[in-house]
Amino acid sequence: MSRPPLHGARKTLQWLTTGLGVLTLAVVVTAIEQGTSFDARLLPKHMRGATPWKTISAADMEKGATAPADTNVIIQIPEDAERMTLDVLTGYRGRETRFWGYCFPVNYDRDEAQQRRRFPGTVFFSHKEREMREQQQKNQRREDFTVQENLTEEDLNEERTYRGAIRHQQEIFLPGTSCYLMTEAPLPIGVDNDRDRANAAVERDVGSDSQNADTDADGVKDGPEAFTLGTNPVLRDSDGDGLIDGIEDRNQNGRRDLDESDATKWDTDSDGLCDGLCKVEKGQRLRGEDKNINGVVDEGESSPLLTDTDGDNILDFHEVYVCELGGGTEC
């Protein structure tokens, strides 16, 4: 069955778009190889300097740096750095920010690469960038839909595999690697030498120690505190309930599990009693659900996850404030 004339035009445009992407990548490769005279050599006068360049050196990576938006950024990972994931390198901004880049292998040989006539390294995309590209591909498929082609929903969801497509490949970043980066918003960039899953720029911003995996010594590493648990990596007891964060996060996996109290809330079950041990107004006495602040519901204690721990139809708050402190008779 013959295809409509418009289909051929769209396929031609598709190839041209791919070719332009490859040409852009070639320009990046040339710029990284030959230094900072990129715009003077390859751009017309009226465009020179339109897109600035910035190099984040190995020394900058050690201290933590910010990759500016809409800028050609060259990143130089130190030779003695620890391996990093893309999320760690970019401060876990990939789900909210569009960015992409390209890295050379550590053992890059320019002459060999030229003989093979291919790019020697690998590209990477943020989560948001990949989602946008996938949606654009799906939209293009819908535009290409015709009755004659009779595409199904399954066809629309298939990944486009035309020749020359650039795919996401880089997930682990090795020491001694040089990379190109373009981002739509500033990114915190740095190494993670203490292996706490927070790079040097993130630790600089939150005030934690980039050479200490657990700055506040609460049992939870700085990265999970900042990104998944939601606690403060420089405070042992982020919510001020008398329990340190590593006790509330009992398995110290950086996430709140169902059997754990919330390390970001003073009163997890909202019953009026703090999860650990804290002062109350009446006599400024210390009261709370966990009297010995060990993270376990011992005899004589109430649970920070239940409003009526013993199931006697008297709320834990009532038992403490009315019965224990107030001498109430209905207890």
β-sheet bridge partners, residue 278: 287
Across 19-96, where does the E strand assignment appear?
53-56, 65-67, 72-76, 84-85
Q: Residue type for 264, please?
A: T
Across the chain, where does the E strand assignment appear?
53-56, 65-67, 72-76, 84-85, 99-103, 122-125, 172-173, 178-183, 187-189, 278-279, 286-287
* Range of the structural domain that residue 33 is part of: 5-194
The tally of domains found in the chain comes to 1
Give a yes or no: residue 82 inside a domain: yes
β-sheet bridge partners, residue 124: 101
Give a yes or no: residue 22 inside a domain: yes
Give a yes or no: residue 241 inside a domain: no
Give a yes or no: residue 254 inside a domain: no
Tokens representing 249 are 């996060």
User: Residue ranges of the alpha helices (H) in 66-199?
Assistant: 86-89, 110-116, 127-144, 153-157
pLDDT digits (tens, 9 = 90+) for 197-250: 999 999 999 999 999 999 999 999 999 999 999 999 999 999 999 999 999 999
Give a yes or no: residue 23 inside a domain: yes
Q: How far apart are the first and last CA of the chain?
A: 84
Give a yes or no: residue 120 inside a domain: yes
What is the number of residues in the chain? 331
pLDDT digits (tens, 9 = 90+) for 106-142: 666 667 666 665 556 788 999 999 888 888 877 776 6
In three-state secondary structure terms, 135 is: helix
Give a yes or no: residue 181 inside a domain: yes
pLDDT tens, N- to C-terminus, the chain (331 residues): 444 444 444 444 443 444 444 445 555 555 444 444 444 434 445 545 678 999 999 999 999 999 999 999 999 999 999 999 999 999 999 999 999 998 887 666 667 666 665 556 788 999 999 888 888 877 776 676 654 456 666 665 654 444 344 455 788 999 999 999 999 999 999 999 999 999 999 999 999 999 999 999 999 999 999 999 999 999 999 999 999 999 999 999 999 999 999 999 999 999 989 999 987 665 567 788 998 999 999 998 999 999 999 998 888 988 887 776 666 556 6
Give a yes or no: residue 116 inside a domain: yes
